[in-house]
Amino acid sequence: MGSMKILMVLFAALLVFGCLQPEGPANETPVENDTNESGETDETGIDLHGFCGWSTNGSCNESADCMVGGCSGQVCHSDSGEAPVTTCEWRDCYDADAYNVTCGCVQGECRWH
């Protein structure tokens, strides 16, 4: 009985910690980089005014090819790519509605705009 509990705890820990990866892996773009400190926009012309979600920059032909993912809805990714796995934490700057941003296709990449 005691060994069964230990196995269950170890299995649960493996599931939780084995599936998590840090937010914003190297090939993905944090949105806060879209606007520099002076408030100028990047080469796409997008200024997200402090929104801090991130994008996988997955390929797309239209906005319907993109979707919001992540436990807190902070990731814009392609529906044809692998769904991102994130930690479950909330930051006010993840609130796309409050920042009036949407996940969609921008210049062939799924990005917040």
Query: Is residue 7 one of the residues assigned to a domain?
Result: no
Would 8 be classed as within a structural domain?
no
Please give the model's pTM, rounded to 2 decimal places: 0.61
Residue 96 has pLDDT above 90, yes or no: yes
Is residue 6 very low, low, confident or very high in pLDDT (cuts 50, 70, 90)?
Answer: low
Query: Is 103 within a domain?
Result: yes
Mean pLDDT computed over 34-53: 57
Phi and psi, residue 6, nearest 5°: -65, -45
In the chain, the number of structural domains is 1
Instruction: Answer whether residue 66 shows pLDDT above 50.
Output: yes
Q: How far apart are CA 104 and CA 67, in angstroms?
A: 7
pLDDT at 5: 65
Q: For the chain, how many residues are written?
A: 113
Whether 16 is covered by a domain: the verdict is: no
- Other CB atoms closer than 10 Å to residue 42's CB: what's the count? 13
Inter-residue contact 56 to 105 (CB < 8 Å) = no
Does residue 33 belong to any structural domain of this protein?
yes
Domain interval for residue 40: 23-112
